[in-house]
Chain A
Amino acid sequence: MFLPGHYPDRVTTAPERTDDRLPAADRLGLRTRIALHAGRLAGGLSRRLGRGSGVVVRGRVVLALDPDALSALASGRRSVVITGTNGKSTTTRLVAAALGGSVATNSTGANMGPGIVSALDDCDARSAVLEADELHVPSVMRATRPEVVVALNLTRDQLDRTHEVSRTSQVWARAFTAQPGVVVVANAADPHVADAASSGRPIWVDPGLRWTEDASVCPRCGAVLDWSQPGAGSGTEALSRWSCRCGFAMPTPDYALTADGVRLPDGAHLAFDLRLPGEVNRGNAIFAIAAAVALGVPAEQAADRVGAVEVVDGRYATLDLDGRQAPLLLAKNPAGWAAALSMIPDDAVMAIGINARIADGTDTSWLWDVPFERLAGRVVGATGDRRDDLAVRLHYAGATPVVEADLVRLAHLLPEGPMVVAANYTAFREMRRYVEGGLNA
């Protein structure tokens, strides 16, 4: 079985070349070197005390001792920053693969300053592919001076923390304006992303899926957006375009998802296969291809490398629940859950884990924006800290919840048939640890 804990922070997909590497560590100042050393000690101690991977603790110590450590570590590298509400970790993994060679990346999802510091300290590759939390985009961009930023989407998530989608969009717009040289690979189908990216040098991507719930009004003038206009072309390109009476409208995509591949900026069609499941990941793949092309990788080569990626930080891996096998999906917010539910076969038995810790957002109201009605008439397992919230949601959706804190016991309580487990962020992490017989077992 795949062991997520052993997943490296370094992704090697081609023979290493020496020019992949930065010069030796004496490129860093004394203060930074001392801070990094102290950070490694603290991270190691934290790991040995069983308090998680130590990645974040380590980065926090480094930044406390040297607030400029991130820019020092990023200096001399070619960086790509990936942000958005959904698909950050998967797309980060896909971009890292698409670039080929040795790449420094925070593939475990620690996507604020400390996590990025740890990732860059671990790997001296010249290329850095960095996932950044939506609200930390300005500080990460200031420190790492990326050549390319990938802006995936902006949907409701953790409203107790980020409050409003439109505010995040404004934060991005200011960050892109502050670095006019940066290429922004941006989702043209998302009005909030399009508004922010227009302040930079955008390369527009149409990833296919539409999520209109958070984009009903124009981010520029507040009027109700018109989503009824069909797009030009066939397949995914015929999906609706958005426009506003103020003149702001969906930009013409440079890269557009098609039924079996991607239409490239020169109009050529490139077919590709993907090991990762789901339509949403085909969209993520073309963001990765576009980012790699912006850094000089030929599109065909980028598509081949992206297609070979199988597992992303334990996602899409299979759990062994005391003999019952179940693939494990991660979904963190309504748009992500809608995508996850669309991947569930009709005959599958589902177990769902919901937590509401700080990293998840402490408000569970979003459960009501997820179309759980698709599970009406089925028996569904409810687990996680907030299994009672989920059970009420499933009950009113017409499903029959089986409420049980222990995932293995739940697997035995549920009806026979192929089983799928889906969970939100911290519930997902705990499940992986639990079934590995790790810390929580």
Chain B
Amino acid sequence: MPGPGTSAVRIVHVYPNLLGTYGDAGNAIVLCARLRLRELPCELIVVEPGQALPREGDVYLLGGGEDAKQTAAVQMMREDGALVAAAGRGAAVVGICAGYQLLGTTFLGVGGIPTEGLGLLDVTTGRLERRAVGNVLARAAAGVVGPEGEPLPDLIGFENHGGATVLGSAARPLGIMEIGVGNGVPSTTGQATEGAVQGSVFGTYLHGPALALNPALADLILSTATGPLGPIDDTLPEALRRHRRLHVLPATERAGRVRSVVKLLRRKDSAPSGASATLSGR
């Protein structure tokens, strides 16, 4: 793997025409820019369907996409073989949304049919009862730390997915939910979790330009190729994170509370009406 001052870090953007519904190009832009701001060379390789994936990539980025495209993409990646081989030698793989699901063992493909994923993450994905759309705040899960063991700052983003993802024993959650739905299935300890990490393979429901909002996560991914990276001026990303915390996330949290109260009231509603039906039936 290249260290600072050696050959360029190779960022591979995988099939953006298939996996690129939500501004996913942003992650490739951010990773390369963060290397260049440190005067480290970066090579961005955009691979479209029909082209071979490079075997020597350092970071492979997989974005979001509709069901049909997701299924087409996973078939091509399996036939191509380079991505699975690269993950096997420790290259970083980052899956967002549909890209996250297809890194798992199974996901729901075209027509809701369970489809075999690439198996790089020990996760399986089914269907959420209600589509998750909204802003997300998650604190970094235990063990998710930066290249020098420092805890990662909170994860901030936006989710828009219908997937319910269960983590197996080999995968660890990336975050613990504060606001939003995330994986949508509580862990064995009852915690609501977000995303998954297994070695240098990352998956998250923070869709689109997740790394623009989470510079520390971007640097953690880059550091798998470069080793620890020095600080850069993050005034603008930090201002954006502050704006989300103060002005955007509180509204999402309020909306979520209203939804859970409505859900609770509906449940209470149905109980007495059920009881009265029994009474009148007597």
List the interface of chain A (C-beta within 8 A of B). Answer: 156, 159-160, 163-164, 166, 212-213, 216-217, 222-224, 362-369, 385-386, 388-389, 391-393, 395-398, 401, 403
| Contact of A369 with B18 in the complex, beta carbons under 8 Å | no
| Contact of A217 with B212 in the complex, beta carbons under 8 Å | no
| Contact of A159 with B21 in the complex, beta carbons under 8 Å | yes
Give the residues in chain A near B49, CB-CB below 8 Å: 216, 224
* Chain B, Cβ-Cβ closest to A161: B133
7 additional contacts (CB under 8 A) given A368-B29, A388-B239: A159-B21, A213-B20, A216-B49, A217-B17, A365-B209, A368-B212, A389-B240
Give the residues in chain A near B212, CB-CB below 8 Å: 368, 392-393, 396
Task: Take A363-B158, A388-B239 as given contacts and tell me if A222 and B22 are in contact as well, using a CB distance cutoff of 8 Å.
Answer: no
User: B52 at the A/B interface (Cβ < 8 Å)?
Assistant: no
Q: DSSP majority for the A interface?
A: mixed
When A and B form their complex, which 10 residue pairs have the shortest distance between CB atoms, in order from nearest? A365-B208, A368-B26, A368-B23, A216-B17, A365-B23, A222-B68, A388-B240, A388-B243, A368-B209, A396-B33
User: Would you list which residues of chain B between 1 and 46 have a CB under 8 Å from chain A?
Assistant: 17-18, 20-26, 29-30, 33
CA distance A367 to B133 in the complex (A): 18
Minimum Cβ distance to chain A for residue B96 (Å): 10
CA distance A223 to B47 in the complex (A): 17
| Contact of A160 with B72 in the complex, beta carbons under 8 Å | no
Residue total for B at the interface (Cβ-Cβ under 8 A)? 38
User: Would you list which residues of chain B between 45 and 82 have a CB under 8 Å from chain A?
Assistant: 49-50, 66, 68-69, 71-72
Task: Take A217-B18, A367-B23, A368-B23 as given contacts and tell me if A391 and B240 are in contact as well, using a CB distance cutoff of 8 Å.
Answer: yes
Can you offer 21 A-B residue contacts whose CB atoms are under 8 A?
A156-B21, A159-B160, A164-B66, A166-B66, A213-B17, A216-B49, A217-B17, A217-B68, A365-B158, A365-B207, A366-B22, A367-B23, A367-B26, A368-B212, A385-B247, A388-B240, A392-B212, A393-B26, A395-B236, A397-B29, A401-B236
CA distance A217 to B69 in the complex (A): 7
CA distance A393 to B211 in the complex (A): 11
User: B237 at the A/B interface (Cβ < 8 Å)?
Assistant: yes
| Contact of A391 with B66 in the complex, beta carbons under 8 Å | no
* Chain B, Cβ-Cβ closest to A334: B23
Task: Take A217-B72, A224-B49 as given contacts and tell me if A365 and B26 are in contact as well, using a CB distance cutoff of 8 Å.
Answer: yes
User: B110 at the A/B interface (Cβ < 8 Å)?
Assistant: yes
* Chain A, Cβ-Cβ closest to B66: A164
Minimum Cβ distance to chain A for residue B158 (Å): 5
CA distance A159 to B23 in the complex (A): 11
Minimum Cβ distance to chain B for residue A384 (Å): 12
| Contact of A368 with B25 in the complex, beta carbons under 8 Å | yes
CA distance A156 to B30 in the complex (A): 22
| Contact of A363 with B208 in the complex, beta carbons under 8 Å | yes
CA distance A395 to B233 in the complex (A): 11
Give the residues in chain B near A403, CB-CB below 8 Å: 239
Q: Provide the B182-220 mask, 1 if CB < 8 A to any CB of A, else 0.
A: 000000000000000000000000011100110000000
CA distance A386 to B158 in the complex (A): 14
Minimum Cβ distance to chain A for residue B181 (Å): 13
CA distance A166 to B29 in the complex (A): 27
Give the residues in chain B near A369, CB-CB below 8 Å: 23, 25
* Chain A, Cβ-Cβ closest to B162: A163
* Chain B, Cβ-Cβ closest to A227: B17
Q: Provide the B123-153 mask, 1 if CB < 8 A to any CB of A, else 0.
A: 0000000010111000000000000000000
Give the residues in chain B near A392, CB-CB below 8 Å: 212-213, 236-237, 240
CA distance A386 to B133 in the complex (A): 19
CA distance A16 to B158 in the complex (A): 52
Give the residues in chain A near B207, CB-CB below 8 Å: 365
Give the residues in chain A near B209, CB-CB below 8 Å: 365, 367-368
* Chain B, Cβ-Cβ closest to A365: B208
CA distance A164 to B66 in the complex (A): 7
Task: Take A160-B133, A392-B236, A392-B237 as given contacts and tell me if A224 and B17 are in contact as well, using a CB distance cutoff of 8 Å.
Answer: yes
- Out of A166, A368, A391, name the residue touching B236 (CB < 8 Å): A391
Most buried by B among A166, A212, A362: A362
- Out of A163, A164, A224, name the residue touching B72 (CB < 8 Å): A224
Most buried by B among A224, A365, A386: A365
Give the residues in chain A near B71, CB-CB below 8 Å: 222
CA distance A397 to B209 in the complex (A): 13
CA distance A397 to B23 in the complex (A): 14
Give the residues in chain B near A398, CB-CB below 8 Å: 33
Give the residues in chain A near B236, CB-CB below 8 Å: 388, 391-392, 395, 401
Minimum Cβ distance to chain A for residue B243 (Å): 4
CA distance A105 to B131 in the complex (A): 36
Give the residues in chain A near B158, CB-CB below 8 Å: 160, 363-365
Minimum Cβ distance to chain A for residue B224 (Å): 21
Give the residues in chain B near A212, CB-CB below 8 Å: 17
CA distance A397 to B66 in the complex (A): 27
* Chain B, Cβ-Cβ closest to A391: B236
- Out of B20, B30, B160, name the residue touching A396 (CB < 8 Å): B30
CA distance A156 to B110 in the complex (A): 20
| Contact of B50 with A224 in the complex, beta carbons under 8 Å | yes
Minimum Cβ distance to chain B for residue A380 (Å): 13
* Chain B, Cβ-Cβ closest to A386: B243
Minimum Cβ distance to chain B for residue A400 (Å): 10
Minimum Cβ distance to chain A for residue B248 (Å): 8
Q: Provide the B249-278 mask, 1 if CB < 8 A to any CB of A, else 0.
A: 000000000000000000000000000000
| Contact of A216 with B18 in the complex, beta carbons under 8 Å | yes
